[in-house]
Amino acid sequence: MRIVVVTTSFPRSDEDPSGHFVRSSARALARAGHEVHVVAPGGSLLDPPARHGDLVVHRAGGGSLFAWPGSLARAREAPWRLLAAAPFAAGVLRRLREVGPVDRAVAHWIVPCAWPLLAAHDAPLDVVAHGTDVRVLVAAPAPLRELVLGGLLARGSRFTFAARHSLDALADALADDTARALRAASRVDPPAIDVPDVAARAAEIRASLALGPDDRLAVVACRLLPTKRVDLAIDAVIASQALSPSVRVRLAIIGDGPERASLAKKAEGLSGAATLLGALPRREALAWIQAADVLVHPSAVEAAPTVVREARSLGVRVVACDSGDVGTWARSDAGIAIAAPTGESLAALIVAPARA
């Protein structure tokens, strides 16, 4: 089968954190024997298609808007980047013509990839909803939401939601008939992930920190946004000092974003117990996660957070606040513990006996 995948997020190198789960999903299709073409942001329309392993990647421009840490964050930082949306859309349509007839189209994100970019395409359409797209649609005016979902359903689109929470939130925001049609055309399945072997680097990191037998290395890995509540992880370090003085908690914060300065200020005076590492290449970030005793994920707004799934695939236990599908996962995975959104609650679970 010949398949085209349209996405607004796709890694430009192995170390780029953008859209690696989209690449993993596309590779899964290729491993199943399909010819897979990916139309993705970045580069120029003058660039020829490039082979990425068993994928053919066609760059459509728009890299100033569609790149890490996501189009919404980049547009807030510099609104002029929104001007790249129209050239990107035109680039996608041109690349689709160049790819030619396909047996199936896959859109990662409902907007803008399924609607409007693939809404009029001839091929049967699979739509993958990741979370941000659902939140945008839930917040949109009801007539626009009905137009988008009604149009996609009318053309026979099939939907895969990364999280049950996202499907429920979107269905609850739709008219009854549209909601029933959406549920009938949908399934829930988190996207594929590929986690490289970083064990050797993880061992180096633990050795370099000279951790004692009762110490805990806690890692947070995310964009530093208010909704991620990374400040609660720092509160947990402070709370742990009173809760369990014999256990020293070391916190490493991986990521960048508008909260970095305030988090750095909050971490001052903790004698190095909380360190901001900034944005790291993907393999290095994963090595820090594998080196950890616990991944801390205090986020308030999620769907199916990839970092939690990566930590569990690396054998690292997770202490998280209930958001998206994380609470559901915890009911069937003893390696995920759910805390109340307070430093004290997080601390109590961080210092519990533990390497997973």
pLDDT digits (tens, 9 = 90+) for 236-258: 999 998 888 888 999 999 999 89
pTM for this prediction: 0.92
What are the Cα distances from residue 126, in Å, to 6, 105, 157, 275, 280? Answer: 10, 6, 6, 42, 33
**How far out from the chain centre does Cα 237 lie?**
25
Which CATH number among 1.10.760.10, 3.40.50.261, 1.10.10.10, 3.40.50.2000 corresponds to the domain 199-350? Answer: 3.40.50.2000
> 61 - beta bridge partners?
42
2-188 CATH fold: Rossmann fold (3.40.50)
* Structure confidence at residue 233 as a pLDDT band (50, 70, 90): very high
pLDDT one-digit tens code per residue, 103-130 = 999 999 999 999 999 999 999 999 999 9
The arithmetic mean of pLDDT across residues 151-169, rounded, is: 97
d(CA 114, CA 106) in angstroms, rounded, equals 8
The arithmetic mean of pLDDT across residues 145-150, rounded, is: 98
d(CA 236, CA 349) in angstroms, rounded, equals 10
Please report, rounded to a whole number, the percentage of residues in the chain having pLDDT higher than 70: 99
| Residue 257 and residue 69 in contact, taking contact as beta carbons nearer than 8 Å | yes
φ/ψ (deg, to 5) at 35: -90, 115
pLDDT one-digit tens code per residue, 10-43 = 998 888 888 899 999 999 999 999 999 999 999 9
The SS3 assignment for 345 reads helix
User: Among 217, 222, 194, 232, which residue's Cα sits nearest to residue 346?
Assistant: 232
* Structure confidence at residue 355 as a pLDDT band (50, 70, 90): very low
The amino acid sitting at 141 is: P
d(CA 318, CA 308) in angstroms, rounded, equals 7
d(CA 37, CA 239) in angstroms, rounded, equals 50
User: Among 54, 35, 158, which residue's Cα sits nearest to residue 107?
Assistant: 158
Cβ partners under 8 Å of residue 332, min gap 6 = none
The domain spans of the chain are 2-188, 199-350
User: Among 12, 20, 10, 17, which residue's Cα sits nearest to residue 281?
Assistant: 17
Please tell me if the domain spanning 2-188 has the same topology as the one spanning 199-350: yes
d(CA 78, CA 117) in angstroms, rounded, equals 24
What are the Cα distances from residue 330, in Å, to 66, 129, 218, 279, 308? Answer: 32, 22, 19, 28, 11
Strands 294-297 and 274-278: unpaired
Please report where in the chains the tokens 């054998």 appear, as a residue: 315
pLDDT one-digit tens code per residue, 187-221 = 999 999 999 999 999 999 999 998 988 899 999 99
